[in-house]
Structure 1
Amino acid sequence: MKVLVIYTHPNHDSLCYSFLQKILQGAGENPKVKEVQVLDLYEEGFNPLLVFNQEKRRRDMHRDPDLAKYREQLLWADKIVLVYPIWWGRPPAMLLGYMDQMFAANFAYRDGKGHFAEGLLKGKSAVCVSTMKGPANYPLLWLHNAHKILMKRALFGFVGIKKVKFFEFGNMESPKGKQAEKLEKVYRYFRAVG
């Protein structure tokens, strides 16, 4: 199994970075994991802005040479892991900008006959590891699970990725947030996942 970890947090002293380290530790001890690549969007200086004009058309985004390396990473990976905070009920703008550009037509999906597109990233799986300051049930009770619906249905399901696992951790700025337990849970998952 080849694992691509997309890390989206501007601070390497963050809890998200600690989750990244636990993912790498667990995957490193997992005999089923052949190779791991990490894409740190902030460190990479990834440009999340969509630009469309006379030279750069939306319909050609799937072959934009500036994004070729990132397309190769997504095609290479069997498992795509996203690590990010939840800000304002959704992933950071940096990650949304990555998704806008990378999950493009004729790369991640193709318009089908009828109402639904054909997902071109079938056979892959995804894991979302996210942290938030608010209570763990906030996204479910107050936002009607908008974050999970966005990630599972609107993004991954649309491009053919049906198997999506969530680690959505709340109360992460509280001294009672059980951060060590949650870090251990993520580590154990990646040590054993197949």
Structure 2
Amino acid sequence: MNLLVIYTHPNHQSLSYAFLQRTLQGGGENAAISDIKVLDLYEEGFDPVLVFNQERRRRDMHKEPSLELYREQLIWADKIVFIYPIWWGRPPAMLLGYIDRMFASGFAYREKGGLLPEGLLKGKSAVCISVMKGPAMYPFFWLNNAHKVLMRRVLLQFVGVRKVKFFEFGSMESAKGRHQQKLERVYRYFRTVKS
């Protein structure tokens, strides 16, 4: 299994970064995982801004040369892992910009004339690891689970990724946030996951 980890946080002293390290440690100890690649969007200097004009048309976005390496990473991956904070009830704008640019028609999905398109990333699975300041149940009760709906249904299932697991951790700026237990959960998952 090939693991692509897409890390989205500007600070390498953050709790998100600690989750990245535990993901890599667990994955590195799992014989079912043959290779791991990390895409650190901030460190990479990924440009999240969509530009459409006379030279760059939306219908050609899936062929944009500057994104070829990132397309190859997504094709290569069997499991895509997103690690990010929840800001304003959703992932950071940097990650949303990556999604806007990468999950393009002609690459991640194809229109086929029906109600829904054909997802072209079938057979892959995904894991979303997110942390937030507020309580874990806040997104469920106050935001109608918008974050999970966005990542699972609006994005991943739309492009053919059916198997999606969430680690959504709340109260992470609290001394009672049980950080070590949550880090250990992520580590154990990646150490033992088979598909």
Q: 2:153 aligned with 1:169, yes or no?
A: no
Paired with 1:168 and 1:112, the residues of 2 have a C-alpha distance of: 34
TM superposition shift of 1:75? 0.1
User: Per the alignment, in what secondary structure is the counterpart of residue 122 of structure 2?
Assistant: coil
1:126 corresponds to: 126
TM superposition shift of 1:112? 1.7
Q: 2:59 aligned with 1:59, yes or no?
A: yes
Which amino acid counterpart does residue 87 of structure 1 have in structure 2? Answer: W
Which amino acid counterpart does residue 151 of structure 2 have in structure 1? Answer: M
1:4 corresponds to: 4
1:50 corresponds to: 50
Aligned length: 194
2:13 corresponds to: 13
Structure 1 segment 1-194 matched on structure 2, within 5 A: 1-194=1-194
Q: Which TM-score applies when normalising by structure 2? A: 0.99
Which amino acid counterpart does residue 14 of structure 2 have in structure 1? Answer: S
Paired with 2:99 and 2:112, the residues of 1 have a C-alpha distance of: 20
Unaligned runs of 5+ in 1: none
Unaligned runs of 5+ in 2: none
Query: How big is each residue's C-alpha offset from its partner over 1:5-42, in whole Å with a ceiling of 9 and x where there is no partner?
Result: 00000000000000000000000000000000000000
TM superposition shift of 1:113? 2.4
TM superposition shift of 1:50? 0.4
Paired with 2:186 and 2:53, the residues of 1 have a C-alpha distance of: 42
Paired with 1:64 and 1:165, the residues of 2 have a C-alpha distance of: 30
User: Per the alignment, in what secondary structure is the counterpart of residue 13 of structure 1?
Assistant: coil
Paired with 1:21 and 1:112, the residues of 2 have a C-alpha distance of: 41
Paired with 1:10 and 1:66, the residues of 2 have a C-alpha distance of: 22
* CA RMSD between the two structures: 0.3
Paired with 1:61 and 1:16, the residues of 2 have a C-alpha distance of: 30
Paired with 1:192 and 1:52, the residues of 2 have a C-alpha distance of: 43
Query: How big is each residue's C-alpha offset from its partner over 1:50-71, in whole Å with a ceiling of 9 and x where there is no partner?
Result: 0000111110000000000000
Paired with 1:121 and 1:113, the residues of 2 have a C-alpha distance of: 19
User: Per the alignment, in what secondary structure is the counterpart of residue 161 of structure 1?
Assistant: coil
Paired with 1:65 and 1:128, the residues of 2 have a C-alpha distance of: 28
Q: Which runs of 4+ in 1 moved over 6 A?
A: none
